[in-house]
Chains A and B, each alone.
Chain A
Amino acid sequence: MPSGVARNAQGVRWDHLFIVDVVPEGARVLDLGCGKGILLRMLIDAKRVRGTGIELAEDKVYEAVAKGVTVYHGDFDEGLSYYPDNSFDYVILSQTLQEARETVAVLHEALRVGRYVVASFPNFGHWKSRLQLLLLGRAPVTRSLPYQWYNTPNIHSLTIKDFRKFTREQGISIVRQFYVGKNRPLHFWPNLFANYGVFLLEKLPAPAAGTRPAPEPTVDE
């Protein structure tokens, strides 16, 4: 089974294309879990961003440095306390949120040091996952979740619907959303058909005393 995010005809991941589209020219960008620096390199080349990444895997750090990308070798789960508020325009959590131990803390730290956060993750609610669990009684192994239960780095399993609910509860607003299906971007019923979801997030302004944030309309499925 092919794994990973679907790519366009040029071999570029659709989620990366979305992120490069979203991030404006010259932005300050922090990529949490930047891996070999592929996305940061694209952002530097296409948008001349001032980019820096954090990566835990030593061998990937070397690859990133070889691409001319600035990296901090370490664990973003340990916090970003050395960065003042709003140090960045964009903080990226590309397929790393589901691997963080302290998901809530990481997301709020990202929103503290960055104006916007781009978060993406594999969708556990994909119909194939649902069917495997329902009909075979087995933990799903799919294109976006290619691992067995014993070797998956995904310590959190979430669906697109779960994430929307989570952002509402956390006072985070979804500015834009983007879904990737088997071969291309997807526009309908993402919780059932998307392999991956990509969200552009920002903090909701703190509500005035005695008021509650308006609930976001619940969509589809």
Chain B
Amino acid sequence: MSDYIHDRQALGISVGQVELQSVTFDSLTLESGRVLEPVTIAYEMYGELDADRTNAILILHALSGDSHAAGYYTGETKPGWWETMIGPGKGFDTDRYCVICSNVIGGCKGSSGPSSINPATGKEYGVGFPFITVGDMVRAQKMLVDHLGIPKLLAVAGGSMGGMQAMEWAVEYPEMVASVVSIASAPRHSPMQIAFNEVGREAIMGDPNWNGGDYYQGDAPDAGLAVARMIGHITYLSDEAMQEKFGRRMREHKPTDQGGQESFEVESYLRYQGEVFTRRFDANTYLYITKALDYYDLSAGRGVLVEVFRELPPDMRFLIIAFSSDWLYPPYQSKEIVHALKGNGLDCTYLEMSSSHGHDAFLLENKDLTRVVWHFLETTGRRREAHHA
């Protein structure tokens, strides 16, 4: 089992105070053909871009993530979602690289999404927001990267849905990607993954407050969104992780507990996670992004996976990581990508890390993960220099 360090000191030095930035473009044509205009992309940057602009890394977030990947907003004590991996001397070393993370379109943390104002109506889009794909998220990121004047990214990297975006980047914009880091991800969702998402969506749409997606003036479908999040959390853990974390321990009775009964710790944990989530996340975004995940298929319209990678440049490098106890995105899904890459003679390192933490393992402090990513990026940088020398 890998060694996880949870205390804050072990998170190491932070990038410190960070701020949300955003840029608005006139329009973005989506895969569906619909045009989103205007389109805003929220992003954050950590570390310095070097003079020749070759040290930029784009971080891609997962379903419930956002552009706040590292550091602290002014006055806040909770760091960004990948604080364990991004910072000085960390896996994505901000002493060496300029790390960029943007909120996906369809999101609810500053980028255009269902909760944004539709200029045509002056009201929130709601379900009037166009259907979004993982490919669309990447198109939007491409506009951002062009806007920042970065000709080629040293790496595109992410876990879960972030890994899907990373692979999409490699296939859509191969000339702009030197390397790919995909963690706990898949070339497409399995029926099981779709099934869990569907239960979450049903919970949201079954909440009377959802009101056909038009709820921004009144009460939001928090009960439904909380259930969706609870289901999500179950799938992010593992049997072993839940045994370790909760056992069958009971939580002290509080008058507010349901039915006046004592509850298991796991119950109160899930209820708490569900409740907290409703404070920071938009239910319609949850619907849009889970749909994007379910429809995503790296090989759709491109032939079998091994054909998809046929035209990739031979010097593109890949680091694909799966976790042994991840039953939501099991290692076989990552291996399918790896085998198709290897079948094309591409430079791909694959790691199946032993961990009891399930899908969540990529978000936890793990010094092996840190070390592997650090060295992978260092080798990528060195090869690139040698290539240009």
Interface residues of A (CB under 8 A from B): 28, 50, 52, 58, 61-62, 65-66, 68, 70-74, 82-84, 87
Closest 6 CB pairs of A and B: A82-B339, A68-B379, A73-B351, A66-B375, A72-B350, A82-B343
Partner of B342, one of A50, A68, A73, A83: A83
**Chain B contacts of A66 at CB under 8 A?**
371, 375
Q: Does A84 lie within 8 Å of B351, measured CB to CB?
A: no
CB distance from A87 to the nearest CB of B (A): 6
**Chain A contacts of B351 at CB under 8 A?**
58, 61, 65, 71, 73
Q: Does A62 lie within 8 Å of B343, measured CB to CB?
A: no
Q: Does A65 lie within 8 Å of B343, measured CB to CB?
A: no
Partner of A65, one of B347, B349, B352, B382: B349
Q: Does B349 lie within 8 Å of A70, measured CB to CB?
A: yes
Interface residues of B (CB under 8 A from A): 317, 335, 338-340, 342-343, 345, 347-354, 368, 371-372, 375-376, 378-379, 382
Given A58-B353, A65-B372, 19 more A-B residue pairs with CB atoms under 8 Å apart are A52-B342, A52-B347, A52-B348, A58-B351, A62-B368, A66-B375, A68-B375, A68-B378, A70-B317, A70-B349, A71-B351, A72-B349, A73-B350, A73-B351, A74-B335, A74-B352, A82-B342, A83-B343, A84-B343
CB distance from B350 to the nearest CB of A (A): 5
Which of B338, B348, B352, B375 neighbours the largest number of chain A CB atoms within 10 Å of its CB?
A: B375
**Chain B contacts of A87 at CB under 8 A?**
345
Q: Does B347 lie within 8 Å of A73, measured CB to CB?
A: no
**Chain B contacts of A61 at CB under 8 A?**
351
CB distance from A86 to the nearest CB of B (A): 11
CB distance from B181 to the nearest CB of A (A): 12
CB contact under 8 A between A62 and B347, given known A72-B342, A74-B352, A82-B340: no
**Chain A contacts of B350 at CB under 8 A?**
71-74
Q: Does A70 lie within 8 Å of B347, measured CB to CB?
A: yes
CB distance from B36 to the nearest CB of A (A): 39
A72 to B334, CA, bound (A): 12
**Chain A contacts of B340 at CB under 8 A?**
82
